[in-house]
Structures are given as C-alpha cells and as structure tokens.
C-alpha cells in the first residue's frame, strides 16, 4: 500500500500534472491524507461525499464520482460524511501558487468577500464581470461564487453549533446567513441533520471546556509541519503589545498570540505549536479565538491559515528541494518547513519598510514604537497584548518625526501607507502579483527586496527569491556555496517553483539556531 501512496503522490505533485479519476481512486483506496482538500469523493450508493482519507470502507470504483470542491459535491445533492468531515480539510495547495482568476477568486472567497460585498463586489475586485467570474469558477470547480461561499458558511455554522452554547438564531447570523430559514435549509442539505441534531452529536462537556468568551478549534494541515521553525520565526519578529510567544498549556508547547483587526471588530488569536516528541504529521494545530463579533470567525480562521501556511503541500516542496545538492541535507534534517504569510497585508507592508537595511530586532523595536503611538488600544489587555497594529491610513497622516529612521525611509513609509489607504496599491489575495509588484516598485524608496518580501509573505507567492538578502548570502556560505547575488540567483533557478521555501531554509541555516536573530534583512538599494 505504501508503494501505491508514493507513486500516486509523485505523479500528482508536479504543477502541470492532470489528476485523472484513476489516480484519484488510487488515493482514496490508500486513504492518502495528502490529497484531502485537493478533491472530494462522492459515493452514489450512499449519497455522501468524503475526503480521500476517510476511514470508511473504500467504495467500489463504479460508485465514485469526484468533485474539485465541497461546494460542487453539495450542489450535486451529496451530504457531508459524518466520520471524516470533509468540510474541515486543509484548503487545496493550488490556491497558494496559482495567480490566475480562479486562484485569486478563491483567496478572496476564503476571506469572506462574497459575504461582505456580494458577487458583484468580488467581481469588481478581480476586474471581471459577474458573469465571466461565474462561468470560470463553475467550469473549473463545479460551483459558482455563491455556492462556494455557502459551503464556507455551512462549515462555520457546524463549528459554532458544536463548540459553543450560543442560541441557534445567533449562530445563523454569525455564520453569515441572511435568515434562520436559509440557515436551517442549508444545514439540513449539507449535513442531513437539523441544527439541533448536529449540535447533539457533540457532548455538552466538550463545549463547556471552551475558554470563557472564546472558541476552540483545530487548524488542519497536511504532511509534516515544522512548528518550531514557524513559532521561532514569529517570535523573533513579534511586535510588543501586538504579538507574543508564551508557554502553552502543555509541557514544552509554545503558544503564539496576537491581536487581529477584522472586518466587523477585533479579536485575539492563540495558536499552539507542537509538543516535543509529538508527531510532526499530527494533522492539526490547536487554536483559540476571542472575537468581538462572531461574523469574523471564518475570516480570522482564513488569515491564521495564511499566516501559518497551513494549506501548503510540504511533501511536494521537500521532494524537490531535498534532491538539491545544496539544500538537500537541510531539508532532510527538518521536513515540513513552511513559508509564513500574514494576517494583514498592510501591516506586513509597513513592517517590510521598517526592516529595510536594519536587523530583525531593530525593525521589531521600530514597529513597537509605531504601535504604541498610533495603534488602537484594546478595551482590556490580555496578557502582553494591548494594541491593534496601526492602520495604513493612520500612518499615512502621522508625523514623520515619530518615525525613528532616515528621512528617505520615512518618505518611503508615508508614501506606501498613503498608496495603500487610497487604494492606489492593493495587496489583498485577489490582486495580480505582477501588477502589484510594478505598482510597488513605482513608489519612492520601495526596491526589489521589499517587493520580493511582500510577494512572498503578503501575496503568498511560493516562488520568490531574494538574491541580495544578507541572510541568503550567509546561508549559502554556511553550506559551502557562493553567496554573491548572481551565483545565488543562478543556483535558485533549479528550486522553482518553491524558491520562497528555499529562502526560509537559507535564513534558518544562516541563523544556525532558530532562536537566534543573526540574519539581517536588507533591501537592494
């Protein structure tokens, strides 16, 4: 069986590989969790749909129909399996690397744009008509934007029903439904249960264990997960008052905590790393969310998934980079390294400019001062968290003298914030990466390093390399390879389409120990 899993996975990891139904069935027969979220299996004899790794008896091939999205399976009349809960799988890794219309649309739908702005608002953001958008999404995913957003609302409803004691009416509107009737009909159709029946599947004890005023949930991921690298990366850059890393509730576990500015309010997120000795392939991270408005739940979850790069396919990344003579030993020693994203692209853009030509520690200090001066204070502090990071609009009109940096960099920061606040430059998941890069480069003081860093983290581009970065040079030198920009760029050609992950490998190698902060992020002026 392991040979089947390996051969199937190898055939499907290439970006240009078309996964046919025979390959899909082999993945289902081997219960390969690496394909969870990539496609869904509908069983005509039972009327349910499952994730590929469902533990139930493998259905006959003649009874299987495959769908590219849960929404498509639901639209065809299939109900979600109660055993494997196919609506809670990691997202398809396609949306990490695809820059076409469908990929951009899926990122915006995941952030809740359809619920807040409607299909017309989604289409406007993407620069297409609603009809064109509907046609392309339906052709590729078997469902249009309304159906995809509806599937997202159904998942939120199930989570709230099974993890909180909130009244059903409150849950209906918190999940984004326009009416209680629409909520009831959707839950029955998707789960073959009434809302009260769905709630009854979970014991009362599990709900009361949720922290006061908060929600407990699991953030699913596929493959190996190097949580030590990711938590250390975030800890090095944690802005005082906005972020912190503290001991978790289990021995040896570190918890990343931060404030979130969300469409309807604000929140605090807590995400636990993995414990020492815990399987790197556990499959989920424990998370707790404290929100002022429950309508922000799906958006908060999506942004945390982006920050922790939870929809990546680490097997595909590690297979290619692990075969490289320069990076191979690093990859084999620490599988499952991720490329961290963001929870707010505007915040990340500000912090990227603060990090030009200074150490990570210095950039963190600058960001903390700005947060103290221009951030929004929480009604009540929570541990070390007191502030929401200042918005681009507030920094665009700030006194430049408050920015303790050279005059040229002050102008770069205020110019960038003004462009973001006015919409001249957009960094949301629906933008065209090439167009956004060109717009950024046109701004004074924004050079190739800053643009590349933002493409890698704010725009979730998995194939960015920073050849002039000091940390890249040190990382390559430690590996015995030339570190000059031309040699580095030439070596990185064979790492495509996963060069962002190679950057993090080299940064980690330059630091030697993830807990140190010796690398220096520098812009190519």
- Show which residues are catalytic: 50, 469
- Contact predicate 334/318, CB 8 Å: no
Question: By the 8 A CB rule, do 298 and 282 touch?
Answer: no
CA angle 134/139/144 to nearest 5° reads: 35
Q: What does the DSSP 8-state code read for residue 479? A: T
Residue whose structure tokens are 């938590």: 231
| 3 state SS for 327-380 | CHHHHHHCCCCCCCCCCCHHHHHHHHHHCCCEEHHHHHHHHHHHHHHHCEEEEE
User: Are 223 and 313 in contact, with CB atoms under 8 Å apart?
Assistant: yes
Contact between residue 26 and residue 35 where contact means Cβ atoms under 8 Å apart:
no
Contact 152, 298 (CB under 8 A): yes
Q: Is the peptide bond before 198 cis (omega within 30 degrees of 0)?
A: no
Residue 431 tokens, joined: 């933008």
For 47, other C-beta atoms within 10 Å of its C-beta total 12
Query: Residue 217: in which H helix or E strand, if any?
Result: strand 215-220
All residues at 6 or more sequence positions from 372 whose CB lies less than 8 Å from its CB, including other chains: 241, 387
Place of tokens 């929401």: 388
**Over the range 492-511, which residues count as b (16 or more CB within 10 Å of their CB) and which as e?**
beebeebbbbbbbbbbbbbb
Nearest to residue 109, comparing CAs of 78, 77, 82, 136? 136
Residue among 24, 20, 9, 17 at smallest CA distance from 497: 17
Residues 6 or more apart whose CB falls under 8 angstroms from that of 305 comprise 90, 91, 219, 311
Cβ proximity of 306 and 343 under 8 Å: yes
Q: What's 130-159 look like in SS3?
A: HHHHHHHHHHHHCCCHHHHHHHHHHHHHHH
């Amino acid at each position: 069986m392991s040979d089947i899993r390996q051969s199937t996975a190898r055939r499907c990891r290439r970006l240009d590989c078309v996964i046919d139904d025979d390959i899909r069935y082999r993945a289902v027969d081997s219960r390969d969790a690496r394909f969870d979220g990539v496609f869904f299996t509908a069983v005509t004899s039972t009327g349910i749909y499952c994730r590929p790794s469902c533990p139930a008896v493998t259905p006959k091939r003649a009874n299987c129909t495959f769908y590219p999205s849960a929404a498509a399976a639901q639209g065809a009349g299939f109900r979600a399996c109660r055993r494997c809960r196919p609506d809670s799988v990691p997202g398809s890794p396609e949306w990490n690397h695809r820059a076409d219309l469908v990929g951009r649309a899926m990122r915006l739908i995941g952030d809740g744009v359809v619920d807040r702005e409607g299909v017309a608002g989604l289409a406007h953001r993407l620069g297409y008509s609603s009809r064109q958008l509907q046609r392309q999404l339906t052709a590729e995913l078997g469902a249009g934007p309304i159906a995809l957003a509806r599937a997202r609302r159904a998942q939120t409803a199930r989570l709230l029903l099974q993890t909180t004691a909130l009244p059903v009416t409150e849950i209906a509107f918190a999940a984004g439904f326009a009416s209680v009737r629409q909520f009831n009909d959707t839950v029955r159709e998707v789960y073959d249960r009434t809302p009260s029946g769905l709630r009854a599947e979970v014991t009362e004890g599990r709900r009361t264990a949720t922290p006061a005023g908060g929600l407990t949930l699991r953030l699913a991921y596929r493959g190996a997960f190097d949580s030590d690298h990711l938590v250390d990366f975030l800890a090095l850059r944690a802005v005082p008052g906005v972020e912190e890393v503290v001991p978790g509730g289990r021995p040896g576990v570190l918890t990343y905590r931060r404030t979130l500015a969300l469409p309807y309010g604000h929140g605090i997120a807590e995400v636990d790393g993995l414990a020492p000795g815990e399987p790197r392939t556990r499959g989920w991270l424990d998370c707790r969310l404290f929100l002022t408005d429950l309508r922000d739940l799906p958006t908060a979850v999506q942004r945390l998934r982006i920050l922790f790069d939870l929809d990546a396919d680490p097997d595909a990344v590690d297979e290619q980079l692990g075969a490289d003579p320069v990076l191979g030993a690093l990859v084999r020693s620490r599988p499952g390294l991720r490329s961290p994203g963001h929870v707010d692209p505007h915040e990340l853009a500000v912090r990227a400019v603060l990090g030009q030509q200074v150490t990570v520690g210095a950039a963190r200090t600058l960001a903390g001062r700005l947060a103290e001066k221009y951030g929004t204070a929480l009604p009540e502090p929570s541990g070390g968290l007191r502030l929401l990071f200042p918005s681009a609009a507030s920094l665009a009109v700030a006194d430049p003298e408050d920015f303790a940096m050279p005059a040229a960099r002050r102008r770069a920061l205020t110019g960038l914030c003004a462009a973001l606040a006015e919409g001249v430059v957009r960094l949301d998941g629906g933008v065209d990466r090439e167009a956004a890069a060109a717009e950024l480069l046109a701004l004074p003081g924004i050079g190739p390093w800053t643009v590349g860093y933002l493409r890698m983290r704010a725009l979730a581009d998995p194939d960015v390399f920073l050849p002039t970065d000091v940390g890249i040079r040190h990382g390559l030198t430690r590996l015995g390879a030339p570190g000059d920009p031309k040699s580095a760029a030439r070596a990185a050609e064979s790492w495509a389409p996963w060069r962002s992950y190679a950057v993090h490998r080299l940064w980690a190698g330059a630091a030697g120990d993830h807990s140190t902060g010796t690398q220096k992020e520098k812009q190519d002026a």
